A = this chain, B = another copy of it.
Amino acid sequence: MRLTSLADYAVVVMAAAARRPAGARLSAGLLAEETGVPLPTAQKVMGRLAGAGLLESARGSGGGFRLARPAGGISLADIIEAVEGPIAMTNCITGSVHDCALEGSCRVKPHLNAANDAVRGALQGVSLATLAEAK
């Protein structure tokens, strides 16, 4: 029930990017220096964010990253899912992997499903615009 350091850094980096003027190109080095996140780690995090469609990336000299959507349209859940994968408290919720020995006879799954939705909802209710506010 704890998010990984990568996801933590992702939130910090995204908030820093959202505080910048919209549309400006931001290099990983710049954001790393501004946030204090180690550069190689920032690179990896931003790469995943770009792969998930939250950032637009441009290669080569003068390249960099840019928010793919307005900050108000990006939720905390989006950022976490981009780095950690789907928000699913248990493996059986996603439905992809069926290696749970209890499959079928598990009586708590529907309840956990509801709890999972509640958690996800709480995270979707927080927008990046809010995270970028001064305090």
- How many copies the complex holds: the figure is 2
| Contact assessment for A3 and B3 in the assembled complex, using a CB-CB cutoff below 8 Å | no
Asked, given contacts A88-B2, A115-B76, A123-B115, whether A108 binds B15 with beta carbons under 8 Å apart, the answer is yes
Query: Which of A76, A80, A134 neighbours the largest number of chain B CB atoms within 10 Å of its CB?
Result: A76
| Contact assessment for A8 and B90 in the assembled complex, using a CB-CB cutoff below 8 Å | yes
Answer yes or no: A95 CB below 8 A from chain B CBs.
Answer: no
Answer yes or no: A125 CB below 8 A from chain B CBs.
Answer: yes
- A interface list, Cβ under 8 A from B: 1-3, 5, 7-8, 11-12, 15, 35-37, 76, 80, 84, 87-91, 101-102, 105-108, 110-112, 114-115, 118-119, 121-123, 125-126, 130-131, 133-135
Between A and B, 15 residue pairs with Cβ closer than 8 Å are A1-B7, A1-B84, A1-B123, A2-B87, A2-B89, A5-B91, A8-B91, A11-B112, A12-B106, A36-B101, A111-B130, A115-B122, A118-B122, A118-B126, A121-B122
